[in-house]
Amino acid sequence: MTVARRLARIGGRIGVGSTLLLSSVVRAQDVGDPEGSGAIVAAVRWLQGTLLGTVATVVAVIAVATVGLLMLTGRINWRYGATVILGCFILFGAASIVAGIQSAAGAGG
């Protein structure tokens, strides 16, 4: 068997394999939550509510105010203070960030 034929056979196998893999990925995205995952979904939603709820908002406001005061008085490095504030933006903007990534992935694919 010539090299060209071997490469053609390998290319055909890779093409079929990637098509099957891609179709299984597409089917996996169309399926909803798997059976028996209700408790896990409920726990994750509770965690999301805790991280983005009233308590988290109050803690973030206190953290930003404290870090801002420490930055103004020169007791903390500005880079560390900016990191804390950026972390709060990421925490509370996580839903918007994920939605943007999902829409970009859907538009690109």
Question: Token match 């953290």: residue?
Answer: 63
What is the rounded distance in angstroms from the CA atom of residue 24 to the CA atom of residue 33? 16
What is the rounded distance in angstroms from the CA atom of residue 30 to the CA atom of residue 41? 17
pLDDT digits (tens, 9 = 90+) for 36-66: 788 888 898 898 888 788 888 898 899 999 9
pLDDT digits (tens, 9 = 90+) for 8-24: 565 555 554 444 444 44
Q: For the CA atoms of 25, 31, 32, 33, what is the dihedral angle to 10 degrees?
A: -60
Task: Provide the token pair at 93.
Answer: 């903007």
pTM of the model: 0.51
71 has pLDDT over 60:
yes
| Predicted local distance difference test score (pLDDT) of residue 75 | 93
**Which 8-state DSSP code applies to residue 34?**
P
Q: Is 45 left (phi over 0), alpha (psi -120 to 50) or beta?
A: alpha
